[in-house]
A and B are shown apart, each in its own frame.
Chain A
Amino acid sequence: MSTVTEQTADSVHEGHDHHDHYEPFWKKYIFSTDHKTIGIQYGFTSLVFLAFGFFLMMVMRWSIAYPDRAVPLLADWPWFQAWLDDGGKVTGDLYNMFGAMHGTIMVFLGVVPLAFGAFGNYVTPLQIGAVDMAFPRLNMASYWFFLLGGVLMFVSFFLPSGAAKAGWTNYSPLATTTDLHYGDLFWTGQTQWLMGMVFLISSSLLGAVNFICTIINLRCQGMTWMRLPFFVWAMLVTGFLLLLAFPPLEVAAIMQLMDRMAGTSFYIPTGLNVSGMAFDAAGGGSPLLYQHLFWFLAHPEVYVLILPAIAIVSEIIPCNTRKPLWGYKTMVYAVMVLGFLAFIVWAHHMYITGMGPAISTFFQTTTVLISVPSVILITSLLISMWGGSIRFNTPMLFATAFIPMFGIGGLTGLPLAFSLPDLHLHDTYYVIGHFHYVVAPGTIFALFAGIYHWYPKMTGRMMSERLGQLHFWPSLILMNGIFAPMMFQGMAGFHRRAFDGGKAYEQISNQVFAEANGFIANICELLGIVGKNEPVLMIDLNIVTSTSAWLLAVFQVPFIINLFISGKFGKKAKGDNPWDATTLDWATPTPPPHGNFIGEPVAYRGPYEYSVPGAETDFTPQGEKDPVIVSTAEGEQEKPA
């Protein structure tokens, strides 16, 4: 047996004390096989992509709010010359391109790599007491595949055809027939999107194999299934989602690549006409096939976006309420059921493709069923806070905000689960609002919480509380300022792909949102959105949304400053375990050296032993041998899924 790391203050400060041998710079920081370095690489890359995706969206929001004004600041950039119109306004092509790439970048290059790649990589091996991932070199390969895919996506903006323009879903036959007039089909954005996806998917597959192997085979002694922190459970389920759901999308991408490059007609129906001309293909394919294969991935992908967020939050809440996670076992089973059901709900994205009532009913039923485990997870988190003495530090604020925001996102999804209301709401801003409530103030808030929470472990210094608060409160308000108006607009019938923000559809966009001289109208008048004695129209909400989005960008500046400055000048963390947390990741030196633990870690009890009656402190670390406390852990159990 071995000893668990002593929390001595001197072992904290100098990270390089722990390095047992010298490694050259490029090996240590660039081609590293250490899961922590790779996690940080993932983190930085994905934060850059998140910022880039956010930038694309801000340009789009300008076109929506002020469709007849030139885009400020950008009109003279050489790249924009090709895509803005003569007056410097956003063109439909540019809007489509940015829309497609905003979705792709945010989902595949931003949130998933940050949630699964960065946090999963950094935290999972630490929490299970492993020295590294099961296949460190594979881990490195998966990062470099990811980067390659990201670079291809980014470079595609600079091709003559621009980047992909057919929406982040890339539906055929639109995606197949776009940009066909460019001489070299391979170097068009649409084709490069597919190439990029093939690399990103390969990266995810390698990553998923690695995660599952690590969690199953590298748990330290005593770390039984029911002693795994919930974070690890969520990562395991996420790993399986990626492993089994991504290959059909890879196939779909390969087939679309064949359609574009080799002239096959997997997704081209017989007799297709493009711009009034018969499309030169054999035909006989089915656009529906693409949608099925795409959504077979893309629905589980939603849970890939969400589960790591819930995982992070469920680490932060017990730690800051000083109470065990309520309903740990229920949550574990719920997350497994969720993982299973995630595979058989996909066609609820396709109600308006003409699916018959029988199959629609099946998918409606599974879709409603899947809300049960989601609600179990959220309710457990909520009850975990009940009666605790809560420390409202920045990570906890973000984690707390996550719950209602994700709740709104989830509940607004219910109407979309039924085919009848979906006919009305499909492809409106309502869908955008629903999805973004889940992912933006939901997942991204949880990711922020995670960054604030594990930052002291990564650097040995705390992030500034004050800047954190300055980051949190405006973000919370502005996030709602962005997405709440979308719900109203969506129900009024605003179509999501109108690049002029619905100006061309007067019947829809001139509906009254709030009567003149009412409370809301007065506020809007004060803000200069509407004139005196004018009602607030639905289309006026565009300005509210867009302004909120730009302001949101401004209030990310405190976070960026915090992220970079605190590493050098932040307050030093007290010991290896500044939050007094229980899980094994806090039992390592700070920052953890290559190999993570000093000695071999052993898990003696469950992961959330906070405020155990009779214990000396209000937390009892998993790795601390203490005969006073009776272990609550179950025996060895097999993992069902």
Chain B
Amino acid sequence: MIKAFKWWWGIVLAFSLLGLSRAFLPLAFLNEVIIFSIYTIGCSFLLGRVGFISFGQPAYLAVGAYGTAFYLFYFGTNPYVGLLVGVLSGLIVSGIVGPLFVKLRSDYFALVNLALAVIIFYLMQKVLADITKGDNGLWFLTNIASTPVLDLGKPSHFFIFALLVAMAVWAFYKYLDDSIFGACCLATKINEDKLKFLGYSNYSVRLLAFIMANTTTALAGAMYAVYLGFVSPEMSSPHRAPDPVVVTILGGVGTLYGPLVGAFAYTGMKDAISKLIGNWELFIGFLLVFIMLAGEKGIWGTLQPHLEKLFFWKKRKPETDSSAKAPR
């Protein structure tokens, strides 16, 4: 019981804080933050744990979003089924491209993903324009049926749903980090040969990580679709490629709460800075360079050791050093 509590309390605390902030932050902002953080956790996992950076996360986001959108626009009305369809399409697409992509070196990997995003962009914008309505996008907000208990059509209900989903996602990734699989991922990042000697296949470890991460990204896409009731090719446009990478770095690569903190900061700053100086790219670009040069720890990576010291300085003092090096 106590063990279970110890394991869960960080996640519960993080999301309770987010839930409480509902009192003084606009709902639209919080919904955006939650979906964005789910969007980013896949990218963060790939970079931090497997050592792969992907400039093509919008591809998987769009796959999830369009999966959901097609269902809700053409076939059904139940948003939960729509979400499921979105996640499944993400699983299928990453299952198809994964075996090819994970064989590539990290630089090729990043760019091939970008290429996939471009392909999906043109696919949705031009080639499949008959069913995707091209740049006009698919509008299906009115198609979404109201459901009992949590009515996803209502932003306030959606918020609760999103919180629960995010908690589940975080629990999943925390579990991964603790598991042998998580250790294997780190091993394949640091030293491929050693993992091979231990009898694990780099290929399958990477493939599994790739599929899980990108299915998570597709989940975020599906949630966007349900939340906005609208999808357009813009979602996978190469212009959107920076977002998850920037948030990952901003939050702190490979940390568990980095994506959440990063998404919060990014969404917040985007609003504030666009209003203030109206030049968002200038700020975020140089912030990215700065974080990289300053030791690539990001916000959470920097804060975490301090927070731990603050809360656990009696209990876990000897541990703080090691956790500062490998924050989770």
Q: Do they bind each other?
A: no
Q: Taking beta carbons and an 8 Å cutoff, which residues of A are in contact with B? A: none
